[in-house]
Structure 1
Amino acid sequence: MQIHVARNSTPLGVYSQDEVVDALNNGQLLLTDLAWREGMSTWVPLADWSEFKSVITASPFISSASGLDAAGTTVPWEKTKSLGMFWATIKGAIVDPKQTFAAGRFKFSDYILFSYLGVLFYLPFALYGQWQSPHLNQQIADLLRSFNNPALDSAIQGLLESAEQPVYYGIVGFLCLAVIYPFILAAGGFLQWLGLKILRQKVSIEQSMVSSIVGVAVANLCFAPFVLTMSVAWLYLALVVLLWIPLLILQCRASAAVIKVSPGILFSSWIILGLIFCLCCCCFIGSLGFLFR
């Protein structure tokens, strides 16, 4: 028996009965999702299917203990769009992402404001970082110069030129970026969806976009306080080296919880996309070299 499942008018895939049960148990599918099979006159919520009644009490993603409300969501932000719920969602994404995102609508339109709030709270740190960038570049150039290695001369020159540029260039650029930030993350979510499709994962495009927004917000807000160390180059660089892996793990866990895949699979999709991008760049450069030789 092949069962077609959709959420918010977006097809999620075709499942067997056993696959639907497994997906309900791990939170990949919700009882509010609509399903149809051959012979049915209309789409019906999975909760109304007699075959899946037993899953309602058996699954930790569906029981009342999971915090599922009448709107069919465990995500604080989807229950009430407020500053308190924004921070509750960020906290949940860090502490217990699977429980926080066990069930939800995950509509991109619901998370545009969420993304802007993330930018707003990160903005003071970003502006401070832009203000400190010339000083940081100067310190890094001095550090590289101390190695007395001629191979580093071009890098040192580039850092010194960057340090001489007006600070407001970076500030204006960041503010312009902030205006379209949710849609840039949505584009990243679409690419992420392509990577997951290569790995044969059944994820909706919209849900992948939301996962991108949530994951990046978690990483940015966790790193934001450490931007204040940019006035001391060696300390800032040491923190970047020490923290990039933990931050990547936090981002990957949060994003994976939204789309109901394992963090390992999600990270693998990122690696695949990176390899494809590098391959395309190499082919493009090779083509230019062939044309203009």
Structure 2
Amino acid sequence: MQIHVARNSVQLGVFVPEDIVAGLSTGRFHASDLAWRDGLPAWTPLGDWPEFRAVGVPASPGVATPDVPPVSTVPWEQGKSLGSFFATIKAAVVNPSVLSTGRYAFGDWVVFCYLGVLFSLPFQLVNAIVFGDKNAEVAEWLRKLNIAELSQTVEQMAKAEPAPVWITVFGAGMGLAIAPFIYAFFGVLHWLGQRVFRYQVPLERTVAASLLVAAILAVLMAPLQLLAFNFGAQMVISSVFFIPALVVYFRCFGAATGVSPWKQFGISSFVWFVLCCCCCALPGILFWWAAATR
């Protein structure tokens, strides 16, 4: 178990319980120092931790220690720049625990997400302009699967006219404009899932964390767009990177929200299961209602 310790708004580092016990005995740590570990909703004084009272550390009085949040060590929250943007992505991938100290104001991370999507835009345009429409190639790939139920769809795709380049570019631009708000919407749904499982993570923090991890994946996965010269190769390589991408996503999301990555994965699976059930059940109910009222 790793515990983050801070004093007077300054992050002291990440320690194991044995180090903290020794530090309390020697005076390195104080009962008033704030501490946090994965799964806790907020920072609390070391004096309030039951496992450290055996060292002789008194519980802190309710009014003696002000609830001062530690300084954020997330580069993006220390200064907005391209350098801090890429430094945040590097820190999130290499050492996700850095994200635990973030404040996660919604406006800050909307900008961050826009930068992430903007970074991926040139790769999308190269994919669309250089490699062209993929309908014919996808149709040929599906035809090789020899699935009778898909034969009509395959023929329609093979005969479809390629979309004009300007439509592709316009669509990419519109996608850039609304993408962060789509990610934010799914962040709200995930927050509801957390509430179902009684995790009291603030709404703003959950949504901001969703924007953060969406931007990270947009940057990391953007180069895969350059493999569009071969649809089969792109599918295979994307599949290989799927599991590592999930690991990065939920490690970062878990660190930012203070909830275990595995628990966040379970919550996300639950939310998507409910969405899929609703999307499948609603058309069925409408169809049944229409048939019953004829």
TM-score when normalising by structure 1: 0.74
Give 2:54's aligned residue: none
Give 2:124's aligned residue: 126
Provide the secondary structure at the position in 2 that maps to 1:101: helix
Aligned identity (percent) is: 31
Offset at 1:148?
A: 4.7
Give 1:153's aligned residue: 151
Contact 2:135 2:157 in 1 (8 A): yes
Question: Cα RMSD (Å) of the superposition?
Answer: 2.8
**Aligned counterparts of 2:180 and 2:148: Cα–Cα separation in 1:** 43
Offset at 1:95?
A: 0.8
Q: In structure 2, what residue type is equivalent to 1:225?
A: P
Q: In structure 2, what residue type is equivalent to 1:186?
A: A
Offset at 1:152?
A: 2.6
Matched, 1:24 2:14: no
**Aligned counterparts of 1:135 and 1:283: Cα–Cα separation in 2:** 33
Provide the secondary structure at the position in 2 that maps to 1:105: coil
5 Å matches for 1:216-231? Answer: 216-231=214-229
Give 2:88's aligned residue: 89
Provide the secondary structure at the position in 2 that maps to 1:24: strand
Distance 1:193 1:92, change over 3 A: same
**Aligned counterparts of 1:143 and 1:246: Cα–Cα separation in 2:** 26
CA-to-partner distance for each residue in 1:255-275, whole Å, 9 max, x for gaps?
Answer: 111111111111111111111
Q: Which runs of 5+ in 1 are unaligned?
A: 1-20, 33-48, 57-61, 63-67
Offset at 1:52?
A: 10
Matched, 1:171 2:184: no
Find the partner of 2:250 among 240, 249, 252. Answer: 252
Find the partner of 1:181 among 179, 192, 211. Answer: 179
Find the partner of 2:209 among 202, 208, 211. Answer: 211
TM-score when normalising by structure 2: 0.74
Is the radius of gyration larger for structure 1 or structure 2? Answer: 2
Give 1:102's aligned residue: 100
Offset at 1:141?
A: 1.5
Q: Number of paired residues?
A: 242
Distance 1:116 1:150, change over 3 A: same
**Aligned counterparts of 2:125 and 2:246: Cα–Cα separation in 1:** 23
Distance 1:193 1:133, change over 3 A: farther
Distance 1:52 1:152, change over 3 A: farther
Provide the secondary structure at the position in 1 that maps to 2:188: helix
Contact 1:136 1:232 in 2 (8 A): no
Q: In structure 2, what residue type is equivalent to 1:88?
A: A
